[in-house]
Every structure is written in C-alpha cells, then in structure tokens.
Amino acid sequence: MKRILFCLALLAAFALSACGTQTEAPENTAVPMDGDEAPQYDPSNPLANYLDHSNLDDETLSHATQSLDVTSESNGVTAKLQQAMGSANLLYLSLEVTYPDTAEHLGLLDAAPTFTLTKTGQTTQDDSFANVGSSWGCDPDSTSITYLLDVESSHALLTTGQDVTLRMEIPATGSALSFDWTIETSAPQEEIVLKTQQGEQMGSAILTPFALSASLNSTGQDRDALLSSLVLLDRNGDPLMPNEAAAASNTEPCQIFFTFSSPLMVDQVCTIQIGTLTGTLSSP
C-alpha cells in the first residue's frame, strides 16, 4: 500500500474535530474522526483517537486491542510502539517517535521513514506475509511525531501467538529501530468461497471486522472495476456499508484487499459480492 504523508498539527486537528470542523482525509488513510461525535484525544488509548470502532461491541474491541509499550532508540531517536488493534489480515499500530531536532530541520517532510514487519528472526521483508503503510501528523516545529501504521496481510497471517518484528529506517538521521512482540490481538474471521452465478468456484476471501482480502482466479473483469464493486449484505439482503478503500497486489492469482474505515461486526454479514462473484458466510 502507498505510504501516505499528511502533515497537520495533531492537537489543532483534534481541537478542530471537536468543534465540528471537517478535515479532508487523504485517500486510503485513517485519520481522526470529525464532527460532534469526535472523541477527545486520549494518550492512554492512542488508536481510539484515529479509528472509528463505534460499530464493534465491547468484547470484540477488547480482543482486537493490545497494549504494547515497546521502546527502541538509535542515533538520538527514541520511539515507543504504543498499541495494536486489528485482526489477522489488517493490524493498526500507533508509534510515538521523538527526534533530536524538528521535523522540518531534519527534512522529514521530504524523506519519510520506511517501515517493514516480518516474523521475528526473518531478516528480509516478505510481501506475502505483510505490507506496512504509514500516515502521520506533526507540527513542523515539533520534535515528536505520532505515526499510524496499517499492516496488511492478504493471507491473514497476523495471528495470535505470532512473534513479529517492526523495523523503522530513518534516512534523515541514519537511525534503525526495531520492536519485537508477540501478537495477542484476535477478531472474528470468516473464510468464504466465491462463486459465479453458475456456481463455478472462482476464488476465496477472508472477512474480519477490519478488512476483506480476496484471492481470485482470472475473472475476465477489469481490476479497477473489481476494486469498486464490493457489496456486503445482511441476512435481509440489505447493504451494510459501502467499500471504503481498496488496493490490489500484482501477484497471481489476483489478490485484492479491501479495508473498512469503520470496522464492522462479522456476524452481521450474510453475503459478499465482488463484481459478478458471490460468497455466502457459513454462519450468518
């Protein structure tokens, strides 16, 4: 997924949100909620300040959230990996970083850090395991930046008990930081067979509250059309929510990843449709 940069003064943004002022969001980027229902900034629960989890019940949210507080330091840069929230195919991370100089003086606005997540002990990035995207907000005159990371795993490998390492490379300071932890987040998950109207199996999908990852055979349909064609239906056949964001990989068979800016309860979904393909959940 593209690494997307948005530069806002965080405290100002949260204050504006609380006043109901709309903040334009970059495409495919989760940002603080707007409007009268926007929460106040809570440093003890950082991801709640960025992600709308209002559709999740307390039990699902509790299982999907993990406090980390893992620290790392390199070349004058100190960082704390604060929290994780998500599922086996999409994990959000909040990372607070303090630099030895301001973001503007270090050139961070032009040369953003890069992130990778691997299984612990694995020295090279494996895109089939996970891809990391980042968004961040800052005051250019500040030395502290909070990063929101989204880790996608199209094969849903971010499972409970998996030991992982997040690496952060910062060209501006020559810093290399790493954070090790064991994933403890969990969320409901459904594996779905995708079929044509004639009943021919053409792929499969994994649905969690945070994302849907699909692996498709050759459908003859335009890739861009598929990316805008996701429909989730409840047991009455009514649409639950529109597709919020989608990204496609270049691997074969065709991998398509849909992220939900507002996570949903999996047990509310009965049927999914991607283009002309349909899948029914086993236990709606």
Check residue 162 and give its pLDDT. Answer: 95
How far apart, in Å, do the first and last CA atoms of the chain sit? Answer: 31
Quick check: 29 pLDDT over 80? no
Check residue 138 and give its pLDDT. Answer: 73
d(CA 119, CA 164): 4
Check residue 50 and give its pLDDT. Answer: 79
* pLDDT tens digits, one per residue of 245-269: 555 555 555 788 888 878 999 999 9
Distant-in-sequence, close-in-space partners of 97: CB < 8 Å, separation ≥ 6: 77, 78, 79, 144, 145, 146, 147, 168
Q: 10-182 with 190-280: one CATH topology?
A: yes
What is the domain partition of the chain in residue ranges? 10-182, 190-280
Q: Which residues pair with 144 in a beta bridge?
A: 98
Nearest 10 degrees: Cα torsion 77, 82, 87, 92: -50
Give the global pTM.
0.81
* pLDDT tens digits, one per residue of 63-95: 999 999 999 999 999 999 999 999 999 999 999
* pLDDT tens digits, one per residue of 103-150: 889 888 888 899 999 999 887 777 668 889 888 877 788 899 999 999
CATH architecture of 10-182: Sandwich (2.60)
d(CA 67, CA 73): 19
Q: Which residues pair with 97 in a beta bridge?
A: 79, 145
d(CA 200, CA 255): 19
Please name the fold of domain 190-280.
Immunoglobulin-like (2.60.40)
